[in-house]
Amino acid sequence: MKPMKPMNDFQRENGFTLIEVMAVIIIMGIIAAVIIPKMTSSTALARKKADVATAHQVKAALDRLQVENGVYPKYGELTADEGEVVCSELIPKYIGKLDKTTTQQTVADGNKGFGVAQLTAVDSDKSQYSIPEPADSSNDIKTIMIYLSSDGLAAEVRAYDDDLKTVLWTSAN
């Protein structure tokens, strides 16, 4: 026969109390509230840096083409249709595809990818070029813009922020 335990001694069941479970949930909530915003901001920063790196590669490809041929592609020889660059002189010899999938930032679909615009010669000094101001509609600006002169003597590449107003990087610097 088993001896009887006294009534005031109770045996603790294995498991967690409700207070312990609540404390763990609260701690996990606090950690999530701190980490999730940092992760999303670091993702956006990584996307910006990826587009800047792509812009560097595009400018380097244009420079290699210019060194080998004596001129950059002229405005009109290199075009962009729906964010994809078309130029048989440049692609695929100097750089792979340049389309919407190459850019990383989250922008409206009509602004994703690459755009091409014309550099204009400065009236006072024809060896200097200026970038035209974008039209009021931001549909003219893409994530990465390639600016070319009509004479093939100048080219500039710019990477824009996801707001399409802030220049993240320009080859002019």
Q: Measure CA of the first residue to CA of the last residue in the chain; give whole Å.
A: 93
By residue range, what is the domain housing residue 66? 18-170
State the Cα–Cα distance between residues 109 and 112, nearest whole angstrom: 5
Distance CA 69, CA 39 (A): 45
pLDDT value for 166: 87
Model pTM score:
0.73
pLDDT at 7: 57
- 1 domain residue, yes or no: no
pLDDT at 62: 94
7 belongs to a structural domain: no
The answer to the question of residue 12 being in a domain is no
DSSP 72-97: PPPBTTBEEETTEEE-TTTTTTTS--
| pLDDT for res 101 | 85
For strands 79-81 and 120-122, give the pairing.
Answer: unpaired
Per-residue pLDDT of the chain (173 residues; tens, 9 = 90+): 666 655 555 566 677 888 989 999 999 999 988 888 777 778 888 889 999 999 999 999 999 999 999 999 999 888 888 888 988 888 888 898 888 888 878 887 778 889 899 888 887 777 788 887 765 455 678 889 999 998 888 999 999 988 888 899 998 87
Within a domain: 42: yes
**For the chain, what is the domain count?**
1
Q: Is the CB of residue 143 less than 8 Å from the CB of residue 103? A: yes
CA distance 74 to 121: 13
Q: 68 in a domain, yes or no?
A: yes
